[in-house]
């Protein structure tokens, strides 16, 4: 985790945009975190975990079996 001030971000925007591909950048104003710069890449596992969390009773699906069936159709 990297933490920088807004003025540091203004001065070195390109540097921190490049760094955001690999790590989260927390931006501060007056010593308090006000924003977070993150990668635009999709975290598929986090997305799946979030979607599965929407169904507290769980899904009656074997994800590994579904994956194998999907791959065998290609």
Domain that holds residue 33: 2-37
pLDDT given at position 74: 65
Domain CATH code at residue 33: 3.40.1620
Domain membership flag for residue 31: yes
pLDDT tens digit sequence for 9-44? 999 999 999 999 999 999 999 999 999 999 888 878
Residue 43 domain-assigned (yes or no) = no
pTM of the model: 0.57
Residue 67 lies in a domain: no
CB-neighbour burial class of residue 8 (10 A; exposed 0-12, middle 13-18, buried 19+)? middle
The answer to whether the beta carbons of residues 22 and 2 sit under 8 Å apart is: no
């Amino acid at each position: 985790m990297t933490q920088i001030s807004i003025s540091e971000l203004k001065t070195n925007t390109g540097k921190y945009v490049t760094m955001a591909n690999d790590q989260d950048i927390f931006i501060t104003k007056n010593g308090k975190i006000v924003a977070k710069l993150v990668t635009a890449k999709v975290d598929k596992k986090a997305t799946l975990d979030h979607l599965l969390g929407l169904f507290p009773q769980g899904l009656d699906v074997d994800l590994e079996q579904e994956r194998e069936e999907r791959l065998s159709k290609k």
